[in-house]
Structure 1
Amino acid sequence: MRKLLTAAAITLALASPAATDPNFWKHEWPDTDFSQTSVENWVEILSGGPPKDGIPALSDPAFIKVAEETRIGAREPVITVEIEGATPRAYPVRYLTWHEIVNDTVGGVPVAVTFCPLCNSGITFDRRVAGQVLTFGVSGKLRNSDMVMYDRETQSWWQQALGTGIVGEMTGQELTALPTWMESFAEFSARNPQGLIMDAPNYNRDYGRNPYRGYDSSHRPFLYSGELPPHDIPALERVVRVGDRAWPLTRFGDVTEITEAGITLSWAPGQASALDTGRINEGRDVGTIRVRDGAGRDLPHDVMFAFAFHAFWPNGTWMLD
């Protein structure tokens, strides 16, 4: 956390009145149309420290068979993408922690697998928007502590938690979230013994290390000055977001399945937190969530921190006991 606090001090220093004016960003983003935006208060946009592409997104990664994978612990989280007609794929969070976005194509569907460590938000989007296939990168900007993505085709900015364009030509456009989920590598490989897992990227990173050690036990979010969640819900408590509803994970203390609002949420132990101990595989057990409709079909959802849900869905519904 010491490195996080140092970065926070640097970033807050950058958040000067000049830095909150969109004109300040134009030297770095000359091809972005700042006249089109849904951002009303530019003070919400902060530099996270790294510049544009300082966190390098990945495209068209290599995969290996799960039986060949020997580096990833059984409890380590992966984002699972299962698309009809394609071999199931697992994207390890140990890689997404350092790259945040993977542009890929699965079963003919162009996808962006995304993970924002500061919000614990892991969502997979269809990259097709308004007749274009977009390729996403990491802008280096944060809004309400959530990653701001950008597309290389129009240089527009996108809010990762929302999947919505917020600056530039694509302002107001919405990405389609796909029904993917986060689970342990053991769960994925047991269900998909012939499945594929993303191979280690060719970057000099300490994959498997958690650079945000102890973050999900903190009392306050990193680089967030917004309102805290209601109902005395801790800011960094995990919640299951489905649409504009949020179910706190604490509801699964005595039950493993909840059926409400026409959907069923299930919880199973065995997945390590990616934001707890120094090595991801040693993190405490936060379990795996699946969300299905009445016909048993998986639904798009996100397991994010409570403060982020409240920031982006201030009028959302809290599904409490």
Structure 2
Amino acid sequence: MRIVPIIAALCTAASTAAASPEFWVHEWPKTNFENTSVESWVEILSGGPSKDGIPALDAPQFIAVADAAVLEPREPVITLEIEGQVPHAYPIRYLTWHEIVNDVVGGIPVAVTFCPLCNSGITFDRRTDAGVLSFGVSGKLRNSDMIMYDRQTESWWQQAVGEAIVGDLTGTALQTLPSWMESWEAFRTRNPDGLVMDQPDFRRNYGANPYVRYDSSHRPFLYSGEMPPHDIPALARVVRVGDRAWPLTRLAEQGRITEAGVNLTWTAGQASALDTAQLAQGRDVGNVRVRDASGADLAHDVMFAFAFHAFWPDGEWMLAD
């Protein structure tokens, strides 16, 4: 499969991005467009692919850490460590092409998600009052962030915040589980008996980065919102915990920060997934861990600054004094 930079590939398809339910109803006959928290439909754009054009994964297969010969030390994985269960790693080399993995770990149905355009990697509990949901990729974006959909009601969900924004389940929020992005080397060193998701049975150029140099861009793809304050570059990474954001540059410089009841640490060794053509060769963005005062892992996200500002416009920027 030939590598095509995603921005160039999608610009033509996204040129008719602004739409409304009258354009979507044939593709989404089950979606209740009368129920929404979106103020204006122009906020929702087509990212290029249609519904399920980016295929989510269901019930993935796992292999032992020792058998994962294809993974390179610096490439990123999303780590999920549930107490009493074998730690699981979900390689970004696969999530880049699928964005959502519906899995069950220790009896907990989870959705492991990655939005490349926001660098947002979050794990959700799929259990809700409406039942256990499974998720797919809608092909739509809002503030350049992936809109997921559940296959049960075909409600639309904002990945960055884990909340339904269109459909019968509008206003329903998913529980975010502690998970984090780190290098494969960091995961396998800490968890030699862990499990890693095996390569999916799709024809994709796994290990390649279709978003070459994206995190060096000046503006996000299909984003017309405000830029971050404090002269922070739009595609600079920040560590979001709740409605607070710590610039990654500050954390990397200090190595450790303890503020607002949160302990953040940074160590070198993880490649950016959105830099060079080969994912594992990206520049070093480091490994981040976030814990509370007792040492328990906290749910968080390492996302681009523009996305934090878009979804938490009144959020607190944790800047150096």
Q: TM-score range by the shorter chain?
A: over 0.9
In structure 2, what is the equivalent of residue 235 of structure 1? 234
1:158-202 CA distance string (max 9 Å, x none):
000000000001100000000110000000000000000000000
In structure 2, what is the equivalent of residue 24 of structure 1? 23
1:11 to 4, 14, 33: 14
1:244-295 CA distance string (max 9 Å, x none):
0000011024311000001101001100000000001100000011110000
User: CA contact under 8 A between 2:252 and 2:266: conserved in structure 1?
Assistant: no
In structure 2, what is the equivalent of residue 264 of structure 1? 263
User: CA contact under 8 A between 2:5 and 2:210: conserved in structure 1?
Assistant: no
* 2:276 paired with 1:273: no
Instruction: Give the alignment's Cα RMSD to 1 decimal.
Output: 1.0
* 2:188 paired with 1:185: no
In structure 1, what is the equivalent of residue 223 of structure 2? 224
Distance 1:196 1:230, change over 3 A: same
Q: Segments of 4+ in structure 1 off by > 6 A?
A: none
In structure 1, what is the equivalent of residue 147 of structure 2? 148
Structure 2: segments with no counterpart, 5+ residues:
none
In structure 1, what is the equivalent of residue 97 of structure 2? 98
Using the TM superposition, give the Cα deviation of residue 3 of structure 1 relative to its aligned residue in structure 2, in angstroms.
4.6
Matches of 2:80 and 2:297, distance apart in 1: 11
Matches of 1:49 and 1:14, distance apart in 2: 8
The one-letter code of the counterpart of 1:180 is S
In structure 1, what is the equivalent of residue 50 of structure 2? 51
* 2:40 paired with 1:41: yes
Matches of 1:6 and 1:84, distance apart in 2: 42
1:120-175 CA distance string (max 9 Å, x none):
00000000011500000000000000000000011100000000000001100000
Identity percentage of aligned residues: 68
Structure 1: segments with no counterpart, 5+ residues:
none
Matches of 1:45 and 1:225, distance apart in 2: 11
Using the TM superposition, give the Cα deviation of residue 12 of structure 1 relative to its aligned residue in structure 2, in angstroms.
2.3
SS in 1 for 2:168: coil
SS in 1 for 2:149: strand
Matches of 1:66 and 1:123, distance apart in 2: 22
SS in 1 for 2:303: strand
Using the TM superposition, give the Cα deviation of residue 86 of structure 1 relative to its aligned residue in structure 2, in angstroms.
1.3
Instruction: State the TM-score, normalizing by the size of structure 1.
Output: 0.97
SS in 2 for 1:147: strand
Using the TM superposition, give the Cα deviation of residue 22 of structure 1 relative to its aligned residue in structure 2, in angstroms.
1.7
User: CA contact under 8 A between 2:251 and 2:264: conserved in structure 1?
Assistant: no
The one-letter code of the counterpart of 2:241 is V
In structure 1, what is the equivalent of residue 158 of structure 2? 159
Stretch moving more, 63-72 or 4-13: 4-13
* 2:286 paired with 1:298: no
1:58-114 CA distance string (max 9 Å, x none):
010000000011101000100001111211000000000000000000001000000
In structure 2, what is the equivalent of residue 197 of structure 1? 196
Matches of 1:307 and 1:265, distance apart in 2: 21
Distance 1:271 1:3, change over 3 A: closer
Using the TM superposition, give the Cα deviation of residue 222 of structure 1 relative to its aligned residue in structure 2, in angstroms.
0.7
In structure 2, what is the equivalent of residue 84 of structure 1? 83
Instruction: State the TM-score, normalizing by the size of structure 2.
Output: 0.97
Matches of 1:185 and 1:198, distance apart in 2: 12
Matches of 2:6 and 2:223, distance apart in 1: 16
1:34-53 CA distance string (max 9 Å, x none):
11100111101011111100
Using the TM superposition, give the Cα deviation of residue 9 of structure 1 relative to its aligned residue in structure 2, in angstroms.
3.6
1:208-240 CA distance string (max 9 Å, x none):
000000000011101111110000000000000
Matches of 1:290 and 1:2, distance apart in 2: 31
SS in 1 for 2:253: coil
Using the TM superposition, give the Cα deviation of residue 5 of structure 1 relative to its aligned residue in structure 2, in angstroms.
3.0
Matches of 1:156 and 1:12, distance apart in 2: 25
SS in 1 for 2:288: strand
The one-letter code of the counterpart of 1:223 is L
Kindly tell me the number of residue pairs found equivalent between the two proteins: 317
